[in-house]
Chain A
């Protein structure tokens, strides 16, 4: 077994554990490369089936190519997609001009909370990785959220020997993070190995490509000529630029991302 095999086996183990132990789960899909890998892993774990809904929290600010890609994948893979949004905030004209952290909170976090309230999910699977950002590096694989969907990073449950927190009080829920141990390179290597489709925006056009795909107003492309998966892997093996360097909401203040995550963000 090589390193990718080990990561794959562990992620499958995590998905199967969540499916068995939690009564109502759903998988968050941001249409980015990580959540595509996660969907692929789910289909592996459950032998071609995706036995829970796939949630897209639509901020209506995503680059249009992503929505086209979403609809195509849903049709090809026959995914049980549920789209959620914070209608009230959108109607009131919420956008990054009101503060990026405020916008993320309103359109993503609150959008997710609305879905949680409507469907009563006890487990939400999200594709975050430790190497993305410092507070994500502190996460647990099965990470509890309180009744307000908040994350208490100062008192996380012990998690060791592949024994996860699967008992929790009614009204609270768990976030499950099957990709926590994967790095950006691992994700691309796995995409190459398995032939997983990803949206075109990751590939260079006119000397630029997106390394990370948030919403259009807060995501900046990076200079690059990598136009295939193999070229992306080669580029990543030597770069020292961080993946999220083009993501504006991380930079609003020193504690911007931590505040977002403590409030229930992914």
Chain B
């Protein structure tokens, strides 16, 4: 790995000389192409200004016109010992997003501080962010020493101040070096100007940095990026973020929990080839030995080490958006290849990077750092940042823009400062006014069994009798309340959960809520019953598969048989009939009116006047 360049970012407060130092380093190591220095000399002369080393990296007109770095830039050079990728970062607070862009991929940093001005706001903010980004190798260059006459006590004062600040965030700088970037002192060559300094030059300090550790020894994490079917092979594609895998390994996919063995590792090198193993860093394509459902956003891992799954996470974030972030804000969180709509449920601390003090607050201003709790409807698969950085860091998106980044500390127990408030109108009062009890009549059965038909006719007949009755129908609800859900088991569970909660709310408001949903899983129906068992009545519309398929009122069975509809209940997905329904209705061979009449009789007996009288007796 010795030919892999070490990535180093140069940060610090605006005008402290970062770009000048970078330009000088490139020049001293012979990395500048022939004629570059001459061209820049001409450019500076034309602009009527003294020679600017910063112009090497500051290539934009606006940067040269204003003498300021706006955006990050990178160049390769060789120290003599190793190849280095040097990343220049802007120092102005306005361009913090560009500093983060540059620093986030670095393995080490040089923090440049103007000897005369000393430690300033961005010196601290950059130091803090480097630490947040996981960078602990930081060398400090105290620049413009020529402007303070190479005064040793001034250097010592600045050194003490920065050591103190970095110590406060648990970072010890590798070296603190007195430098004149413009003059070249201690960039590559030692200088007589500071005979009292015996430490390394900047380039020697760069040679001393360690490359980041390989992730091969961490547990396997393969976030699914895509699933391809260009030909007969179904290939799961992604980059191995940590660990290794081999053909034959049994992979588990979080959060679904499904598992399958790696059948092959596909590759192409002028021709189709395969491999037996692959390790962290490789972008791979694998095939599995079973056709389990796999989709982008899932994380493949081995059974013995799974990522954490949580709906609520506590994270330390830095905010780059123009508008402040507030509690209650909804954003998109992107971690590896997964995306989660999230809500900021708490802003626990806002950290003042100037003095490292924490404050309470509900709002995170631009460029600020805070600890927050985020809640996601779908479980987030992650590793704590300290455990496996690649699965512990995320960005926050609002609209079309990335507005912040964060690292996950841990799963947060849901904080619930929620209290019930009692209605002043009771279910009993409503029942007396309506002439019937409120409740949930839950129709379940295969597609085509007749649930919707019966439900709508029942609603009509009850309405004529003066009842407060309403129908929640599977197809209708999937256009609105549940329009974001599909037909996977997880989505069906969420679909039923939502409808169950809404039905019970309506029941408490005195209505008879009739629901017409296939609701194939017993566990999902039982959960709805558990919300309020007394008012929940399960009706099994038990018409068999043959009869339902014969009817095929919407042509779905035909499509399902052809494989055009995946996960279709009865054909490619299971139906679990109720164990103890309150009522069983078989509609085969019966006219609709007969089934409805049976149901009306049941409803009146259970919810109607007689039942009310009984209840108050």
B1 at the interface (CB under 8 A from A): yes
Closest to A40 in B: B270
Q: A48-B268, A194-B270 are in contact. Are A242 and B225 (CB under 8 A)?
A: no
A87 at the interface (CB under 8 A from B): no
Query: A1 — which chain B residues lie within 8 A by C-beta?
Result: 1, 279, 281-282
Of the candidates B36, B296, B395, B397, the one whose C-beta lies within 8 Å of that of A160 is: B395
A121 at the interface (CB under 8 A from B): no
Query: A241 — which chain B residues lie within 8 A by C-beta?
Result: 33-35
Question: How far is A20 from B605 in the complex, measured between Cα atoms in Å?
Answer: 57
Closest to B230 in A: A49
Shortest CB-to-CB span from A143 to chain B, Å, is: 11
Q: A44-B269, A137-B57, A240-B33 are in contact. Are A167 and B72 (CB under 8 A)?
A: no
Q: A20-B226, A47-B235 are in contact. Are A13 and B100 (CB under 8 A)?
A: no
A118 at the interface (CB under 8 A from B): no
Query: A3 — which chain B residues lie within 8 A by C-beta?
Result: 1, 3-5
Query: Would B104 and A160 count as touching, CB distance under 8 A?
Result: yes
Query: A9 — which chain B residues lie within 8 A by C-beta?
Result: 239, 281-283
Closest to B76 in A: A183
B50 at the interface (CB under 8 A from A): no
Question: How far is A156 from B71 in the complex, measured between Cα atoms in Å?
Answer: 8
Shortest CB-to-CB span from A245 to chain B, Å, is: 7
Query: Would A137 and B225 count as touching, CB distance under 8 A?
Result: no
Query: Would B43 and A254 count as touching, CB distance under 8 A?
Result: yes
Query: B130 — which chain A residues lie within 8 A by C-beta?
Result: none
Shortest CB-to-CB span from B263 to chain A, Å, is: 15
Within 8 A of B (CB), among A237-257: 240-242, 245, 254-255
Question: How far is A51 from B60 in the complex, measured between Cα atoms in Å?
Answer: 36
Query: A161 — which chain B residues lie within 8 A by C-beta?
Result: 104, 393-395, 405
Per-position 1/0 for A1-25, Cβ under 8 A of B: 1110110111011001101100000
Question: Once A and B bind, how many residue pairs between them come within 8 Å at the CB atom?
Answer: 156
Most chain B CB inside 10 Å of its own CB: which residue of A2, A153, A194: A153
Shortest CB-to-CB span from A243 to chain B, Å, is: 8
Query: B36 — which chain A residues lie within 8 A by C-beta?
Result: 242
Query: B74 — which chain A residues lie within 8 A by C-beta?
Result: 130, 137, 181
Question: How far is A254 from B104 in the complex, measured between Cα atoms in Å?
Answer: 31
Most chain B CB inside 10 Å of its own CB: which residue of A2, A133, A254: A254
Q: A20-B296, A137-B74, A254-B43 are in contact. Are A160 and B400 (CB under 8 A)?
A: no
Query: Would B101 and A163 count as touching, CB distance under 8 A?
Result: no
Question: How far is A138 from B270 in the complex, measured between Cα atoms in Å?
Answer: 33
Q: A2-B3, A242-B36 are in contact. Are A258 and B60 (CB under 8 A)?
A: yes
Query: B73 — which chain A residues lie within 8 A by C-beta?
Result: 130, 134, 137-138
Q: A2-B4, A160-B395 are in contact. Are A258 and B61 (CB under 8 A)?
A: yes
Question: How far is A16 from B43 in the complex, measured between Cα atoms in Å?
Answer: 41
A62 at the interface (CB under 8 A from B): no
Within 8 A of A (CB), among B262-293: 266-272, 279, 281-283, 285
Query: A163 — which chain B residues lie within 8 A by C-beta?
Result: 334, 394-395, 402
A131 at the interface (CB under 8 A from B): yes
Query: Would A153 and B268 count as touching, CB distance under 8 A?
Result: no
Question: How far is A10 from B72 in the complex, measured between Cα atoms in Å?
Answer: 20
Question: How far is A158 from B94 in the complex, measured between Cα atoms in Å?
Answer: 12
Main secondary structure of the interface of B (DSSP, over half): mixed
Shortest CB-to-CB span from B385 to chain A, Å, is: 11
A100 at the interface (CB under 8 A from B): no
Of the candidates A130, A131, A158, the one whose C-beta lies within 8 Å of that of B402 is: A158
Query: A44 — which chain B residues lie within 8 A by C-beta?
Result: 267-269
Query: A2 — which chain B residues lie within 8 A by C-beta?
Result: 1, 3-4
A97 at the interface (CB under 8 A from B): no
Question: How far is A48 from B43 in the complex, measured between Cα atoms in Å?
Answer: 47
Within 8 A of A (CB), among B205-253: 225-226, 228, 230-231, 233, 235, 237, 239
B160 at the interface (CB under 8 A from A): no
Of the candidates A5, A156, A194, the one whose C-beta lies within 8 Å of that of B269 is: A194
Question: How far is A258 from B394 in the complex, measured between Cα atoms in Å?
Answer: 33
Closest to A160 in B: B104
Query: A19 — which chain B residues lie within 8 A by C-beta?
Result: 226
Query: Would B100 and A158 count as touching, CB distance under 8 A?
Result: yes
Per-position 1/0 for A54-68, Cβ under 8 A of B: 000000000000000
Shortest CB-to-CB span from A141 to chain B, Å, is: 10
B46 at the interface (CB under 8 A from A): yes
Shortest CB-to-CB span from A138 to chain B, Å, is: 5
Shortest CB-to-CB span from B326 to chain A, Å, is: 20
Question: How far is A154 from B402 in the complex, measured between Cα atoms in Å?
Answer: 16
Query: A46 — which chain B residues lie within 8 A by C-beta?
Result: 228, 230
A157 at the interface (CB under 8 A from B): yes
Question: How far is A134 from B32 in the complex, measured between Cα atoms in Å?
Answer: 12
Query: Would A16 and B226 count as touching, CB distance under 8 A?
Result: yes
Of the candidates A5, A131, A134, A157, the one whose C-beta lies within 8 Å of that of B281 is: A5
Per-position 1/0 for A150-187, Cβ under 8 A of B: 00011011111101010111000000000001010000
Q: A245-B35, A254-B43 are in contact. Are A134 and B269 (CB under 8 A)?
A: no
Query: A157 — which chain B residues lie within 8 A by C-beta?
Result: 97, 401-402
Closest to A168 in B: B400
B81 at the interface (CB under 8 A from A): no
Query: A168 — which chain B residues lie within 8 A by C-beta?
Result: 400
Question: How far is A240 from B271 in the complex, measured between Cα atoms in Å?
Answer: 37
Within 8 A of B (CB), among A111-163: 130-131, 133-135, 137-138, 140, 153-154, 156-161, 163
Query: A158 — which chain B residues lie within 8 A by C-beta?
Result: 97-98, 100-101, 320, 395, 402, 405
Of the candidates B59, B61, B225, the one whose C-beta lies within 8 Å of that of A20 is: B225
A195 at the interface (CB under 8 A from B): yes
Query: A47 — which chain B residues lie within 8 A by C-beta?
Result: 228, 230-231, 233, 235, 266-268, 272, 285
Question: How far is A13 from B237 in the complex, measured between Cα atoms in Å?
Answer: 9
Shortest CB-to-CB span from A135 to chain B, Å, is: 5
B75 at the interface (CB under 8 A from A): yes
Query: Would B34 and A242 count as touching, CB distance under 8 A?
Result: yes
Query: Would B59 and A51 count as touching, CB distance under 8 A?
Result: no
Query: Would A165 and B402 count as touching, CB distance under 8 A?
Result: yes
Query: A254 — which chain B residues lie within 8 A by C-beta?
Result: 43, 46, 61
Shortest CB-to-CB span from A102 to chain B, Å, is: 18
Q: A137-B75, A138-B60, A255-B61 are in contact. Are A160 and B405 (CB under 8 A)?
A: yes
B62 at the interface (CB under 8 A from A): yes
Closest to A164 in B: B402
Within 8 A of A (CB), among B47-67: 57, 59-62
- Provide 26 A-B residue pairs closer than 8 Å at the C-beta atoms, listed in order of the A residue: A1-B1, A2-B1, A3-B4, A9-B239, A16-B283, A47-B230, A47-B268, A47-B272, A130-B74, A131-B75, A133-B59, A137-B75, A154-B71, A156-B98, A157-B401, A160-B103, A160-B105, A160-B405, A161-B104, A163-B394, A165-B400, A168-B400, A194-B269, A195-B270, A240-B33, A241-B35
A residues whose Cβ falls under 8 Å from a Cβ of B: 1-3, 5-6, 8-10, 12-13, 16-17, 19-20, 43-49, 51, 130-131, 133-135, 137-138, 140, 153-154, 156-161, 163, 165, 167-169, 181, 183, 194-195, 240-242, 245, 254-255, 258
Across the A-B interface, give the 5 residue pairs with the lowest CB-CB distance, nearest first. Answer: A134-B59, A160-B104, A242-B33, A158-B97, A12-B283
B residues whose Cβ falls under 8 Å from a Cβ of A: 1, 3-5, 30, 32-36, 43, 46, 57, 59-62, 70-76, 97-98, 100-101, 103-105, 225-226, 228, 230-231, 233, 235, 237, 239, 266-272, 279, 281-283, 285, 296, 320, 334, 393-395, 397, 399-402, 405
Given contacts A48-B272, A133-B59, A163-B394, 19 further A-B contacts (CB under 8 A): A1-B281, A1-B282, A9-B282, A9-B283, A46-B230, A47-B235, A130-B73, A134-B59, A137-B74, A140-B101, A154-B60, A156-B101, A161-B104, A163-B402, A165-B402, A169-B400, A183-B76, A254-B61, A258-B59
